[in-house]
Every structure is written in structure tokens, then in C-alpha cells.
A = this chain, B = another copy of it.
């Protein structure tokens, strides 16, 4: 039996649609803030980290405007809970490993999180379905303002917010958009798109951020520049870029249908065949296959799966989500078996 300490409702946003869905899956906004008069986390000792954490905890607990937030020390959080938060993109891979003085602040609806003592003292983040960077920014701004009533943030007139890593100095803002781009991958145009975006100062990363693979054709597109441009400019530019990418993805899907529908159909149906018959499926393979089904449904090659949200299923099959869902901690091979059953059951697939 799992003993989760997360009392928040995760992943609710997944069932919702937003602007430019389904190609744009989600928008994420992150602000980095640091407390004046404290070393950055990687230079602070345990005592200082505890002090920082405690300061933030007091604010969260005592400000009635923040009552929808829960403060949880990472040390109190079981491994599987941390993995859940990582899989939801609410904390970073490094942060999910735990560490002294680290804590996470979560909104009850699972859309806002604050990592305490990650690279910076505070990393405030919000998450929404579809392309809605302005709204995510409004959400983090609200919390930022509220926190700044109680906490003294390091800020220099001509520099902006100070951050542990100089690439974040300035707005200390990172906006990032998760996109599903199987069409560009299958037409072998992704490399070209990545190069084009990089030249324009936009970073393209895999499913779990820096250095991770673009599992399931899921890409995170985010701003690189934080200095010398206003937040508004950054958001406008990034939104524009993402809309362009959506158009390219749509074009790629049309190309696939027009130029080699049989090849395309074959891929989609093979994915369906494997998910219908496999007795065990790894997380990575599940994401890949569901990505292909999703593309099949969106292009009309497959009928939609009744009442089943493929977005949501792409989360449910992640290791911690899967174990949380079936309420059992399992070794990896048994997870793969449970995953195969779960997918078959949810999609009502016949076979095997």
C-alpha cells in the first residue's frame, strides 16, 4: 500500500483544453527569486538552508492569502511522491532527488508550485493547459507579489533579480511550452525546426528539461533570454514562435497524410496492435506508442477513444503515477505488466 503525503489534486489540468490544444499541451512559467543577505543554495550550509526554508514556511503558513498552499519539507516526502511531482513537471529532476533544507510549496489544485532551495531560494512555477503564457505569468506574479510583502528579494536596479545562475539574471523568468510534435519528427523536419528556434534565442528541450530525450515527441520550448528584454516582450515572442511551430506541425501532418498515408496508417495501427497485445510495456515505450495513437486520433486515422483522454493517460503510465493509481509499489518489471493492463483497460483494447 502506498502512503502518499501529497494531499493536492495533481494533473487536473490535463483533462482541460487550452488555446492551441492539442498540439500545445501546456504552458509553464517559472520565476527565480533569492533572499537578500543569504548565500545562494549551493553556497549555503545546512543551517542557512534550514533558516531560509523556515522563513518561507512561516510566510506560507501565516499569510491567509496563501491558505490554498501547502508547505512540505522534501525530507518528509516519500520517494514516490517526489517522483509524482517530477512526472507532473512541478519539480525538477535534480530537486526530486531530495536534499537538506529543501521543500516544496504546492497549491491545492496542483497548478502552482514553489521549489525551495533548488538552484535559487525560490522557484515559483505555474502550469496551465494549452498556450496561455500570459495567464501563467499572472498566476506566478500574484504569488511573487504576495511573498515579496514578507520576504526581501535580491534585486539590483540595472540588473533586475539576482539568480544563482547568471543566465537567469534579469527577469529571472523562464516561460516554457510543452508541445507534441510527432508530425515534424516523422517528416524528419524536427532538427531543422530546433536549429531555427535556437538561432532565434529559443531553447528546445526534451520531456524532462535540459539533457532529456524528447520521449513521445514531446518537446519543451522556452525562452533563453532573461536580460535586456521585458517580460512582456519575451512572452509575446515565445507565444508567436509556438504558434509558428503549431502551424509547421499541422503542415507536417498534412504532408504525412498526403505523401505516404499507408506508411502513416501502418505506424498508427502497429502502435494500436502492440498496445492491444503486449503483456508488458515500459514507460518509455508507452509514451511513444500513446504519442502515435494521439497523432492517429488527431489526424482522423483512428476513431477517438470513448471518454478517454490520451493526454491524461500519457501521465498515468509514468512510473510514480502508475503505482499511485494502482495503489501499490512494484518492481520495474511488474510495473511494466501493470502498465500494459492499465492501457488496455483504459482504451478498451481487445487482444491477447
Contact = CB atoms under 8 A, between A and B. Distances in A.
Interface of A is mostly: helix
Contacts of A270: 274, 277-278
Interface stretch (A9-17, A139-147, A160-168, A261-269): A261-269
Contact of A262 (B269, B272, B276, B280): B280
A269 B265 CA distance: 21
A351 B266 contact: no
A260 to B, nearest CB: 9
Interface residues of A, number: 20
A218 B274 CA distance: 25
Interface in A315-330: none
A274 B273 CA distance: 5
Interface string A251-290: 0000000000011011001101111111110000000000
B352 A262 contact: no
A262 B337 contact: yes
Contacts of A45: none
A270 B273 CA distance: 8
A154 B351 CA distance: 61
Contacts of A333: 262
A317 to B, nearest CB: 16
B276 A351 contact: yes
A294 to B, nearest CB: 17
A261 to B, nearest CB: 10
Given A333-B262, A351-B351, A277 B276 contact: yes
Contacts of A273: 273-278, 351-352
A266 B277 CA distance: 8
B337 A272 contact: no
Nearest to A267: B279
Contact of A269 (B266, B279, B337): B279
Contacts of A262: 279-280, 333, 337
Contacts of A272: 277, 351-352
With most chain B CB atoms within 10 A of its CB, the pick from A262, A276, A277, A333 is A277
Contacts of A266: 278-280
Nearest to A266: B279
Given A262-B333, A273-B278, A274-B274, 20 more contacts: A262-B279, A262-B280, A262-B337, A263-B280, A265-B279, A266-B278, A266-B280, A269-B279, A269-B351, A269-B352, A270-B274, A270-B277, A272-B277, A273-B273, A273-B275, A273-B351, A273-B352, A274-B277, A276-B276, A351-B351
Interface of A: 262-263, 265-266, 269-270, 272-280, 333, 337, 350-352
